[in-house]
Amino acid sequence: MGSRQFATFEVDGQLFGVEVHTVQEVLSYNEYTPVPLAPPAVGGLFNLRGQVIAAVDLRVQLGLARQALHGPVMNVILRGDGEPVSLLVDKIGEVVDLEDEKFEPPPDTLSGPTRELVVGTFKLDGRLMLALDVNQAVDTYRATT
Amino acid sequence: MEDLGEIVGEFLMESHENLDQIDRDLVSLEQEPDSRDLISRIFRAIHTIKGTSGFLAFSRLEKLAHGGESLLSRLRDGVQPVTPETITVLLATIDGVRSLLSSIEEKGTEDEVDIDSILVKVHAQMNVPSDSAPAADQAAPAAAESAPAAEAGAAPAAEAETPVQLDETPARPAPDPVADQRQPIGQILVDAGAAAPSDVSSALQQQIEGDERKLGTILLEEGKAQPAAVNEALQQQAPKRSIADSAIRVDVDLLDTLLNMVGELVLARNQLVRGVMEIGESGLVRSAQRLGMITSELQAGIMKTRMQPIEHIWSKLPRVVRDLSNSLGKQVQLVMQGKDTELDRSLLEAVKDPLTHLVRNAVDHGIEDPDRRAAAGKNIEGTLTLRAYHEGGHVAVEVADDGAGLNVDRIAEKAVEKGLLRPDQIPNMDRRDIMAMVFQPGFSTAAKVTNVSGRGVGMDVVKTNIENIGGAVSVDSTPGEGTVWRLTIPLTLAIIQALTVDCGEQRYVVPQVAVLELVFIDGQSTKIEYASGAPVYRLRGKLLPLIRLDRALGLEVGGDQGVYIMVLQADGRRFGMVVDRVLNTEEVVVKALNTRFKDIGLYAGATILGDGKVGLILDVSSLARRSHLAVDSERENVVANSKSSGGGGVQRLLVTAVGERRVAIPLDTVTRLEEFPRDRIEHAGSREVVQYRGQILPLVRLSHLLGVYGEEIEGDTVSVVVYSEGGRSVALVVDRIVDIAENETTARRDAEEDGLVGTAVIQQRVTELLDVRRAILAADPNFYSDAEDDMLVEA
């Protein structure tokens, strides 16, 4: 039985996780440049040491209202496919080491936009962590209804 | 053997460079057969290849290079003259060397490449009886004798053996003096006859015995040589040294990294300078300014490392032209102007193929056969001119031939055949517009497909490639005199001059190339007006269509006072963009925008602004397109042509024919020129209408409006001038579009007739000026009333 490391974070009270190797870094950032006419899930652009990074609002991806971009917001910067991309989240959690046996497919009762982003559920002590499909999570052209 | 890998790699790279140079030199040598310098240079280069390949045990390569060298040595020694045939054989040899090298590069072996056929030709050349030097030295007959043997020996038996001895040069020679980077000064002096060999020897002896003075100094001080001669010898020695020592190879990736870092440095500098200015401490300010200057210089320097003279991509063209013209039986002289014009490396690479295509095309189709040229009274040798020069932040590259010119009728015919144009469109089209059809995909006028052009890689690919790097292509041609293909290429992609503007709460970046001027709108002396809801501004008496940046970006729309209009030019169209505030001009480093934003199309990229925030760079032409400003290519061409034919301030008129009369319509009120099939005209009430782009377009016949009740021309189509404002359009039916003219108002009388504002003499003919407003109202009485409603709403 193998185990995997997940970086965890919270959105709207729910714990999510992505595999650690997909994460470039985690940081809090203040100023975002909005991109008019971009898909709603695009929170804005910011300058990461000279690199222009697009921030995807995970709340919008999950079918929630946009995150207000005033003051510092936490970014989980994913390596992405050639170009890093950031997920805007509420709160950063810890890195957890999870054994594969704690994994279960997403419950059948889970529906809506969240269902499409989640590949499985991990049972932690006292709470559940939803493992995100990284590619789906940053796909801003996904139909967000 | 691992160590050898690197040596071989270096050898391959170096040899490729050498071969390119040899190619150029051989073609030049054909032009000036007596140039000893060229022969020596070619000889040295090929000798180097031979020497190294021998050392690396590439025996075939060595054998071939040796063959070429032997032939060259005969040329050098004057044993036989330089003829076009010799050059052809030498070029074939170089090609052979090239294919050997690429075989080594790809497969690591040279065994599969056939060199014998080339060697046979080389030997055949050396057999040509030379009458220019009958009393040549003894080496020549010896070589001539050995050649037939080699020819016979080119049979399989000769393979893998030591190279056939062709002349007096040993197979693996001791370093040849000419191949040395530097000749000793003593030898130069002796060769020039400026010093006696014995004097030089004794001076050398003195050095060996411990005299620390330089050789030249010894000779001078002992009066054995003239100062001038020594100086000359030193100079002769010097350039060679500088070429060898002053250039190094640098990895392009490293340069790119450096460029990025300098970009970051520029941003950090901007932030620092801003901060220091706020503190205002004079010592700090001075240091910051100094840092600023150094950074700018550093940036310029790094940019320069990426710049390369266009010669780099031109260097292969003489060979291309020579081979092609020979195979076609044409005589073409290639002239290059502005070789030193520099372009960013990445752009240079992108321009290479299109340029080669244009050159091949010009030789193949542009320049005529010698017979036809003679018949036309031209010099039988055609001239192909490559020209590169800077022009307003761009580099223009022209490929001009003095051939027969483009056959406009043939192009038109072909365009119709391919379904790109309708026959009835042709008479109304400008020559240049018809010529521009050659850039359409799937267009080729070559009557027959040769192995040169017409292989599917057409002018459309040239156009696409150039447009991909933000450039443009155009063509102009004069029958009988030639054709000019013109590429306009941006200098660099990485750093642009830009204006930063505020719109809403955000800051945007507009490339400065697109900006013509700025106008401040105070709402009093300058104000924005509305024509049927569409904002316009009277710029020096002419209406400038406006787009509001906030509206275009889907933001909250602001007021009309205290704003700025940026007068922009894009896609051959001029328009104004309303922004809240214009801040300043600065150089910005263009960063590619995340692919997910490509589809929006409004942004050309992003950059980091002085305050560290990300700024979006607006794509001016797509902004215009999105705002429905840019219209049909016809209109664009109309504008572009009329622009090229005249200055800025003159009113331009579209001259149409209505019956026997000439009626002029101010061009800037025209949205589009169209042709409708006659059977598409339908009737709504008493009006004539056509369905057009999902709208019902009312028609008004100018002939009726102006009371020309002559015979109607019954063609299959009708020509109309479309006029649009806001969401409304009307079409004025004319018999024919005649021309576009400048109104010079040489003679003008006020109108006596309804529907006209006056008459003027245009192009030596009396022409009536149409009252556009009245004509439009005749077509659609409500055309302007909505505009007034809108105006109230906006106000």
Q: Kindly report, residue by residue over A66-109, the tens digit of the pLDDT.
A: 877 777 889 999 987 767 899 999 999 989 888 888 888 888 88
> Is there a contact between A47 and B554 if contact means CB atoms under 8 Å apart?
no
A30 touches chain B (CB under 8 A): no
| CATH fold for the domain made of A3-132 | OB fold (Dihydrolipoamide Acetyltransferase, E2P) (2.40.50)
**Paired tokens of B257:** 């990294």
Residue bearing the bigger pLDDT, B314 or B107: B314
| Contacting residues of B for A141, CB less than 8 Å apart | 596, 599
Superfamily designation of domain B2-179? HPT domain (1.20.120.160)
Q: Kindly report, residue by residue over B534-583, the tens digit of the pLDDT.
A: 888 888 888 888 999 988 888 888 888 889 999 987 656 788 999 999 98
Query: What average pLDDT does range A119-130 have in this prediction?
Result: 88
For testing the chain B interface, which of A29, A30, A32, A35 should be mutated: the one with the most B CBs within 10 Å?
Answer: A35
Cα B597 to chain centroid distance, Å, stands at 29
Residue bearing the bigger pLDDT, B41 or B180: B41
pLDDT band at B383 (very low <50, low <70, confident <90, very high): very high
- For B337, list phi and psi in degrees, rounded to 5: -125, 135
Task: Look at residue B367 and tell me whether its pLDDT is greater than 70.
Answer: yes
User: How do beta strands A14-19 and A128-132 pair?
Assistant: parallel
> Is there a contact between B260 and A38 if contact means CB atoms under 8 Å apart?
no
Task: Look at residue B612 and tell me whether its pLDDT is greater than 90.
Answer: no
Q: Kindly report, residue by residue over B191-243, the tens digit of the pLDDT.
A: 777 777 777 787 777 777 777 777 777 777 777 777 777 777 766 665 544 44
Task: Look at residue B139 and tell me whether its pLDDT is greater than 50.
Answer: no
pLDDT band at B399 (very low <50, low <70, confident <90, very high): very high
- By C-alpha distance, the chain A residue nearest B603 is A35
| Contacting residues of B for A42, CB less than 8 Å apart | 596-597
| Contacting residues of A for B602, CB less than 8 Å apart | 36-37
Query: What average pLDDT does range B281-309 have in this prediction?
Result: 84
Q: Kindly report, residue by residue over B747-765, the tens digit of the pLDDT.
A: 455 555 667 777 777 766 7
| Contacting residues of A for B501, CB less than 8 Å apart | none
Query: Long-range CB contacts (< 8 A, 24+ apart) of B527-532?
Result: B527/B560, B527/B561, B528/B560, B528/B563, B528/B565, B528/B578, B530/B787, B530/B790, B530/B791, B530/B794, B531/B725, B531/B726, B531/B787, B532/B725, B532/B726, B532/B727, B532/B728, B532/B783, B532/B784, B532/B786, B532/B787, B532/B790
| Contacting residues of A for B599, CB less than 8 Å apart | 141
Q: Which of the residue ranges A6-15, B363-372, B441-450, B634-643 would you say has the lowest mean pLDDT?
A: B634-643
| pLDDT at position B75 | 83
> Is there a contact between A52 and B600 if contact means CB atoms under 8 Å apart?
no
Query: What average pLDDT does range A113-134 have in this prediction?
Result: 87
Question: Fold match between B2-179 and B311-490?
Answer: no
Query: What average pLDDT does range B460-486 have in this prediction?
Result: 82
> Is there a contact between A47 and B612 if contact means CB atoms under 8 Å apart?
yes
- By C-alpha distance, the chain A residue nearest B605 is A52
CA distance B38 to B76: 9
Residue bearing the bigger pLDDT, A29 or B642: A29
Print the SS3 string covering B514-540.
HEEEEEEECCCCCCCEEECCEEEEEEC
Domain B311-490 in CATH 3.30.565.10? The answer is yes
CA distance B747 to B377: 44
> Is there a contact between B597 and A50 if contact means CB atoms under 8 Å apart?
no
B494 vs chain A: nearest CA distance in angstroms? Answer: 14
In 10 A of CB B7, how many CB atoms?
12
With contact defined as beta carbons under 8 Å apart, do B396 and B473 qualify? Answer: no
Classify burial at A94, counting beta carbons within 10 Å of its beta carbon; exposed 0-12, middle 13-18, buried 19 or more. exposed
| Contacting residues of B for A83, CB less than 8 Å apart | 594-595
A27 touches chain B (CB under 8 A): no
Q: Which of the residue ranges B243-247, B384-388, B563-567, B690-694 would you say has the lowest mean pLDDT?
A: B243-247
- For chain B, domain boundaries: 2-179, 185-246, 252-309, 311-490, 501-600, 646-794
Query: What average pLDDT does range A58-71 have in this prediction?
Result: 83
Of A34, A46, A141, the CB nearest to B506: A34
In CATH terms, B501-600 corresponds, of 3.30.870.10, 2.40.50.180, 3.30.360.10, 2.40.50.140, to 2.40.50.180
User: How do beta strands B506-511 and B614-618 pair?
Assistant: parallel
Query: What average pLDDT does range B251-275 have in this prediction?
Result: 80
| pLDDT at position B743 | 63
pLDDT band at B125 (very low <50, low <70, confident <90, very high): confident
pLDDT band at A20 (very low <50, low <70, confident <90, very high): very high
> Is there a contact between B597 and A38 if contact means CB atoms under 8 Å apart?
yes
Query: What average pLDDT does range A55-63 have in this prediction?
Result: 89
Mean pLDDT, chain B, integer: 75
| pLDDT at position B794 | 38
Q: Is B3 helix (H, G, I), strand (E, B) or coil?
A: helix
With contact defined as beta carbons under 8 Å apart, do B721 and B755 qualify? Answer: no
A35 touches chain B (CB under 8 A): yes
Residue bearing the bigger pLDDT, B86 or B204: B86
Residue bearing the bigger pLDDT, B699 or B231: B699
Q: Kindly report, residue by residue over B332-357, the tens digit of the pLDDT.
A: 999 999 988 888 877 888 888 889 88
Chain B residues within 8 Å of chain A (Cβ atoms): 260, 263-264, 267, 506, 553-555, 591, 593-597, 599-600, 602-603, 606-608, 612-616
| pLDDT at position B64 | 86
A112 vs chain B: nearest CA distance in angstroms? Answer: 23
**Paired tokens of B786:** 């909505």
Task: Look at residue B702 and tell me whether its pLDDT is greater than 90.
Answer: no
Mean pLDDT, chain A, integer: 85
Task: Look at residue B263 and tell me whether its pLDDT is greater than 80.
Answer: no
| Contacting residues of B for A47, CB less than 8 Å apart | 608, 612-614
Would you tell me the crossing angle of helices B59-76 and B139-153 to the nearest 10 degrees? Answer: 150
Q: Is B209 helix (H, G, I), strand (E, B) or coil?
A: coil
| pLDDT at position B749 | 56
Give percent of chain B above pLDDT 90.
5
- By C-alpha distance, the chain B residue nearest A139 is B596
pTM of the entire predicted model: 0.46
In 10 A of CB B123, how many CB atoms?
26
Exposed e or buried b per residue across B82-103, where buried means at least 16 C-beta atoms within 10 angstroms of its C-beta: beeebbbbbbebbebbbbbbeb
| pLDDT at position B795 | 34
Give percent of chain A above pLDDT 90.
25
pLDDT band at B502 (very low <50, low <70, confident <90, very high): very high
Task: Look at residue B632 and tell me whether its pLDDT is greater than 70.
Answer: no
- By C-alpha distance, the chain A residue nearest B508 is A33
| Contacting residues of B for A77, CB less than 8 Å apart | none
**Interface predicted TM-score of the whole assembly (ipTM), two decimals:** 0.88
Of B267, B612, B616, the CB nearest to A35: B616
| pLDDT at position B727 | 65
- Nearest Cα neighbor of B185 from B225, B127, B149, B143 is B225
Question: Which amino acid does the sequence have at B200?
Answer: V
| Contacting residues of B for A30, CB less than 8 Å apart | none
A35 vs chain B: nearest CA distance in angstroms? Answer: 8
Q: Which of the residue ranges B365-379, B417-431, B519-533, B776-790 would you say has the lowest mean pLDDT?
A: B776-790
Residue B726 vs residues B84, B532, B537, B627, B687: alpha-carbon distances, Å? 68, 5, 15, 11, 21
CATH of domain B646-794: 2.40.50.180
Task: Look at residue B647 and tell me whether its pLDDT is greater than 50.
Answer: no
pLDDT band at B145 (very low <50, low <70, confident <90, very high): very low
In the beta sheet, which residues pair with residue B657?
B662, B736
